[in-house]
Amino acid sequence: MTLDRFERQALQRLRRRSERAQIQAWPDPAEKTELVQRAGYARQRALAKLPDYLAMLEQNTAATGITVHWTESAQAANRIAIELIKKAGGRALRNHSPLLDEIAIDRAAIANEVELVRVHPGDQLVQLSGRPLQHPIWPTAHIRIADISSTLQEAWHVPPSVDPDILASTVRNRLRPELLDATTAVVGLNFAVAETGSLICLDNEGHNASLATYARTLICLLSIEQVVADAADLDILIEAFSRSAWGRPLPGFISEIRSPARTPKGEMQAIHLILVDNNRSDALAQGFGEALRCIQCGACHSVCPVFLQVGGAYTQDASTPQPYSGPIGAVLNPILLKSGNAARQPYLSTDCGFCASVCPVAIDLPGLLQRQRQAQSSTASWREKLAFSLWRRLLNQPRLFKAYMRLWRRVRH
């Protein structure tokens, strides 16, 4: 899949908005440098003693009445989640979460005849339109307003409109009754605090707070690397995430789940925490633990010249849908997916280094991409090695590069 001209322009507008938001979010460069260092340390601290913090998290959450499940793969996580949904009635609402997309829980729900409804407005529109997600924070940034209107007309038989406020109200009015009547919810968490056992969701729409309040059965999923040592580290990471994702010191909503409570209908909640490994232990063992610092803020996407030109095609394969896009996806996907399915993605980079300059947790993405290329080069054919060698040489000579690309298009067609 490739982007058309409008979609590329839309992502360029998103880049400009992100730049303005970053300027507002970080008025003092010294303050940014300090927070980035502290956030990077907080992430590395948790990864350095990950088994210990996970054991502490399990102990403290179980003490409050939350049931903890350990899973090694996406399939195992989906199996537990689907079984819990079926026991609760066969229908559930889900939030906006890269982890839920990573494990492909929507496809698992369809295969098991379970109804799973996306209640994030952007997610809902992407699902209705049949388009792939492009950006982890702004899922509809690449879709035309006219296309959104057409999608809603076809799916919900509503009057046409090109007024963004009307379209947003249409989606919210449709989803609000679903939230208020929620009985089962599947929630991908942003963080979990080992010291207190608290489960944390961040958003600007309030859908996580509604799901956590109204759902009688609450199924929470956490990728194991997103455990946080203590409340002090959590405060740092929430600020780093919010400034990088939305350009503000704090998100609109911080939902903290501490223990089962009674719903507004008087029913006692059942809360399940599913810890998902899905090859993350392999990433640590292979020396790519630094990539697991990522907090999925999307900052690297908004500055990456490759992503801004091809969007989701940066990591989308027609035969193998891949969980993460942008520079971080080019590092993580080869680890999270079966061997060979994302081997070429680390080469989709200009080595400009912009991603490292905006990362709020100090990940050396250019360095990790280089290491992934070295790791993948052993499996490349001599033709691929020759092509990549030629690519690297031509990047420093724009005229020859353009001539080469014109020739390649002619030969290809």
Query: Residue 346: which CATH number?
Result: 1.10.1060
Residues 112-135, mean pLDDT to the nearest whole number: 89
**Residue 12 Rama label (left phi>0; alpha psi -120 to 50; beta):** alpha
Per-residue model confidence as pLDDT tens digits over 201-227: 999 989 999 999 999 999 999 999 999
Residues 279-298, mean pLDDT to the nearest whole number: 92
Boundary (domain end) residue, out of 254, 276, 298: 276
The closest alpha carbon to 233, from 196, 187, 272, 189, belongs to 196
Q: Residues 137, 27: one domain?
A: yes
Q: What is the pTM of this model?
A: 0.88
Q: Which domain holds residue 37?
A: 5-276
Q: Do the beta carbons of residue 237 and residue 42 sit within 8 Å?
A: yes
Q: Residues 266, 289: one domain?
A: no
Q: What is residue 378's predicted lDDT score, i.e. its pLDDT?
A: 59
Q: What is residue 318's predicted lDDT score, i.e. its pLDDT?
A: 46
Q: Residues 184, 331: one domain?
A: no
pLDDT at 401 over 80: no
pLDDT at 264 over 50: yes
Q: What is residue 377's predicted lDDT score, i.e. its pLDDT?
A: 65
Per-residue model confidence as pLDDT tens digits over 10-56: 888 888 888 888 788 887 889 899 999 999 999 999 999 999 999 99
C-alpha span between 105 and 131 (Å, rounded): 17
Q: Residues 255, 328: one domain?
A: no
Q: What is residue 22's predicted lDDT score, i.e. its pLDDT?
A: 79
Q: Residues 196, 319: one domain?
A: no
Q: Residues 21, 40: one domain?
A: yes
Strand partners for 191? 200
Q: What's the start-to-end Cα distance of the chain, in Å?
A: 17
Output the average pLDDT for the chain: 88
- Alpha-helical regions (H) of 315-397: 326-336, 354-358, 365-377, 382-395
Question: Which residue is it, tokens 């290809």?
Answer: 412
The CATH number of the domain holding residue 159 is 3.40.50.10420
Residues constituting the chain: 413
Q: Residues 217, 240: one domain?
A: yes
C-alpha span between 91 and 147 (Å, rounded): 29
Boundary (domain end) residue, out of 276, 292, 310: 276
Q: Residues 239, 387: one domain?
A: no
User: Of all residues in the chain, what percent carry a pLDDT higher than 90?
Assistant: 57
Q: What is residue 150's predicted lDDT score, i.e. its pLDDT?
A: 94
**Residue 279 Rama label (left phi>0; alpha psi -120 to 50; beta):** left
pLDDT at 342 over 50: yes
pLDDT at 379 over 70: no
pLDDT at 320 over 60: no
Q: Do the beta carbons of residue 263 and residue 269 sit within 8 Å?
A: yes
C-alpha span between 87 and 317 (Å, rounded): 35
When computed from its CA atoms, the radius of gyration of the chain, rounded to whole angstroms, is 22
Strand partners for 370? none
Per-residue model confidence as pLDDT tens digits over 48-92: 999 999 999 999 999 999 999 999 999 999 999 999 999 999 999
C-alpha span between 24 and 19 (Å, rounded): 9
Q: What is residue 148's predicted lDDT score, i.e. its pLDDT?
A: 92
Least confident of 33-37, 109-113, 342-346: 342-346
